[in-house]
Amino acid sequence: MSSELNFKIEKRLKDRLGRVGILETPHGKIETPAFIVVGTKATVKSLSPEDVKEIGAQAVLANTYHLYLEPGDELVANAGGLHKFMNWDGPTFTDSGGFQVFSLGSAMEDKANKFGSKTNLEVQPPSVCKEDSVSKLSKIDEDGVTFKSHIDGTSHRFTPERSMEIQHNLGADIIFAFDECTSPLASREYQKEAMNRTHRWAKRSLDRHNELGGPQSLFGIVQGGRFEDLRKESAKEIASLPFDGFGIGGSFEKEDVYKALVWVNEVLPENKPRHFLGIGAVEDLFGGIENGVDTFDCVAPTRMARNGALETKEGRMNIMNAKFKTDFTPIESDCECYTCKNYTRAYLAHLFRAEELLAYRLASIHNLHFVVNLVKKIRQSILDDNFFEFKEEFLKRYKVIKL
């Protein structure tokens, strides 16, 4: 491989799998652990690249499936790649498109998300085709996946090789092998079948990636669902292949997440970075970092922001609550984000009630600033040898408030 990735561990968390490190990419360093901001369609919704830098974000993750459909990966390549196209000069990631297989296929059938819930799907595109009396947009076979665009219903096909070609066109620093992400509601038999297919696809992804060449780094993805033996088997198999790093994928019962991280990260080689795909709610960051995760990505901070849910040290605030209409204090008095330094809760409440677009920008700036800098504080707590005290103090105050 011609990867230009370098990962150095600076300090380890005593008696746990957590660690602090530096991940060097062709477009700069990432101090780990780090929260990677999601810019699905080569944009962080409602924010400029300057906004994203100002909040302290080190890297952005874009979505292979969405950019393939619109505007097209070849167009992005002709524009000079993802960095030039979106005017972001820092490190970038792209996922493989595998999660969209889950979202458009079995997840629609089961109405399941990554934690097994049958509500609040992360992707709920309109039904375009009917198959076996179940509304699905994708069909998996050994070679790859055939799917219909949620935009216009046209038919498309992803294989491991095609995913590599698309991601090389997009030009992110870190890309992921094509995998099959299963529903946590799937049977053990199917989880094993999908895991073995993911392993075969991993080898094909590696082969095509090496044929294409270039400076990009390829991460393999560990699957296996909620089953300990399958997770360990998958970690062992993916670790045996010459990947530059690893993604921990799939879906879990909420209570199984941290156990699954231990199962996997005790097997994966210590000297390579580990990315937790699509998980990054505040309450999961401490457990993820404690159990060996180096980077996270998640749409939750910006998605919640657009729904008026604002992160604070005491928990999530619903800005549409009537009491905030006349509250002329910032979201948090000690927050250094642009929103808190310049606007009040009353103004945010007004913007949301009036359905003004500025509401999305100001709320997203605050939520991303909160999460990105919380991870930086967790990192510093490991360096300062007070991680467990910081975790206990923070989680004692932080409450997940349902909207």
pLDDT digit string (tens) for the chain, length 403 residues: 457 899 999 999 999 999 999 999 999 999 999 999 999 999 999 999 999 999 999 999 999 999 999 999 999 999 999 999 999 999 999 999 878 766 765 444 444 455 454 433 333 322 222 233 234 678 899 999 999 998 899 999 999 999 999 999 999 999 999 999 888 888 999 999 999 999 999 999 999 999 999 999 999 999 999 899 999 999 999 999 999 999 998 666 667 788 999 999 999 999 999 999 988 888 899 999 999 999 999 999 999 999 999 999 999 999 999 999 999 999 999 999 999 999 999 999 999 999 999 999 999 999 999 999 999 999 999 999 999 999 999 999 997 654 3
151: helix, coil or strand?
A: coil
304: helix, coil or strand?
A: helix
Count of domains observed in the chain: 2
- In this structure, what token pair is assigned to residue 274? 């580990």
- In this structure, what token pair is assigned to residue 22? 């530096």
Does residue 112 lie within any of the structural domains? Answer: no
Query: 387 and 364 in one domain?
Result: yes
Residues that are catalytic:
95, 297
Does residue 117 lie within any of the structural domains? Answer: no
Query: 335 and 201 in one domain?
Result: no
Query: 393 and 325 in one domain?
Result: yes
Domain boundary pick from 298, 324, 344:
298
Domain that holds residue 62: 6-94+167-298
**Read out DSSP for 336-375?**
-SHHHHH--HHHHHHHHHTT-THHHHHHHHHHHHHHHHHH
Write the CATH number for 175. 3.20.20.105
Does residue 78 lie within any of the structural domains? Answer: yes
